């Protein structure tokens, strides 16, 4: 009931009143105007590194990664994590553990005030702890695109392992979406401050990607046979097509109800160029009021951009 991985997952009464919730022991919590989430802003201009997958490994199918654990293990065994961390690493810890005791301060969402919190053996969980010669990385992984994450998921394990190892502890957020691994490497500049998290680096990887050219996209487009739809057919409302891919991946793993999707993943119950608007108006789509069409046109534009972005030639052109 208190696992709100993203700001959008917070109950409406929390969002309306700028509230958040943090565990301070095993079974007790503090509620207040706490600034608990870190925005994730992906730099799409970064080079995407390509890695081969070891031919000796048969028990991981890198084309079929539909869970956070499988994505993380794949990145580890392909050598991607070693590249991110900067040295060879071994998987040493994962799962639930007790935080031990420590104090910290967290910023208010309404002012510059800091609230004091003391943690006494609360529960925390990490998806993977990877140890090298001089570094220990703790990783929070998601198998979908995320706009933010709950800082606590890195901060509590960070405070725990800072006391248990003499090595540098590196907090990392990883997302796996659309066959791309995105890593966001952070640091806490002040161990006693929950909000002192700072982005140090971002790196993107893909395993043995299949090259798609603009001609391939054009060939698929030319092969489409258009059929008329019923007037009541629903119209897509997700501007980020990667979210659609993410949702299909989640549903591939198991069936989910609408409430489970919106409560446990970063999907909202309703997610929102001029030529597109004109085409849609002429098509007499059953979209309600005319004010709705520009929002739906934004979705169409975003989906077209995603399709074209699959082409390496288009990606190189957009970066130039």
Q: Write the pLDDT tens digit of every residue in 63-100.
A: 888 889 999 999 999 999 999 999 999 999 999 999 99
Q: Write out pLDDT tens, residues 209-232.
A: 666 677 777 788 788 887 776 655
Question: What does R_g of the chain's alpha carbons equal in angstroms?
Answer: 22
Whole-model pTM above 0.85? no
Per-residue DSSP letters for the chain?
A: -----SGGGS-HHHHHTT-EEEEEETTEEEEESB--EEE----TTSPEEEE---TT--S--TT---SHHHHHHHHHHTTHHHHHHTS--EEEEEEEEE--EEEEEEEBSSSS-EEEEEEES-EEEEEEEEE-SSEEEEEEEESS--SEEETHHHHHHHHHHHHH-SSEEEEEEEEEETTEEEEEEEEESSTTBTT-EEEEEEEEEEESPPPB-HHHHHHHHHT-------TT------S-HHHHHHHHHHHHHS---HHHHHHHSS--SS---HHHHHHHHHTT---SSTTHHHHHHHHHHHHHHHHHHTBHHHHHHHH-
Q: Summarize the confidence of residues 128-137 as an average pLDDT.
A: 98
pLDDT over 90, % of the chain: 55
- For position 240, what pLDDT does the model report? 66
Nearest alpha-carbon partner for 151 in 109, 120, 182: 109
Give whichever of 42-51, 233-242, 278-287 has the largest mean pLDDT.
42-51
- For position 213, what pLDDT does the model report? 72
Three-point CA angle 173, 177, 183, nearest 5°: 25
Q: How many residues does the chain have?
A: 320
- For position 131, what pLDDT does the model report? 98
Q: Write out pLDDT tens, residues 252-278.
A: 677 766 666 665 556 554 443 766 566
């Amino acid at each position: 009931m208190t696992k709100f991985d993203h700001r959008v997952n917070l109950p409406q009464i929390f969002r309306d009143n700028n509230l958040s919730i943090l565990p301070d022991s095993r079974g007790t919590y503090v509620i207040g105007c706490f600034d608990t989430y870190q925005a994730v802003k992906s730099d799409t201009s970064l080079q995407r590194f390509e890695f081969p997958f070891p031919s000796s490994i048969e028990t991981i199918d890198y084309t079929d990664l539909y869970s956070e654990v499988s994505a993380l293990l794949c990145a580890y065994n392909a050598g991607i994590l070693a590249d991110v961390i900067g040295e060879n690493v071994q998987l040493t810890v994962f799962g639930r553990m007790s935080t031990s005791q420590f104090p910290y301060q967290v910023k208010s969402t309404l002012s510059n005030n800091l609230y004091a919190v003391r943690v006494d053996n609360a529960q925390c969980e990490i998806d993977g702890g990877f140890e090298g010669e001089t570094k220990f990385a703790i990783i929070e992984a998601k198998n979908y695109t995320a706009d933010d994450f709950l800082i606590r998921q890195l901060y509590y394990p960070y405070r725990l392992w800072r006391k248990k190892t003499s090595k540098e502890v590196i907090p990392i957020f990883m997302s796996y979406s659309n066959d791309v691994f995105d890593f966001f490497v952070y640091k806490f500049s002040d161990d006693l401050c929950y909000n002192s998290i700072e982005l140090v680096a971002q790196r993107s990887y893909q395993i043995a990607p299949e090259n798609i050219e603009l001609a391939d996209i054009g060939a698929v487009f030319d092969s489409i046979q258009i059929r008329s739809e019923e007037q009541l057919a629903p119209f897509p409302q997700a501007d980020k097509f990667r979210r659609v891919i993410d949702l299909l991946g989640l549903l591939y793993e198991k069936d989910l109800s609408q409430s489970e999707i919106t409560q446990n993943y970063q999907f909202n119950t309703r997610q929102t160029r001029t030529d597109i608007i004109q085409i849609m108006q002429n098509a007499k789509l059953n979209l309600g009021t005319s004010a709705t069409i520009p929002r739906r046109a934004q979705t169409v534009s975003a989906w077209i951009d995603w399709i074209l972005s699959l082409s390496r030639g288009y990606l190189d052109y957009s970066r130039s």
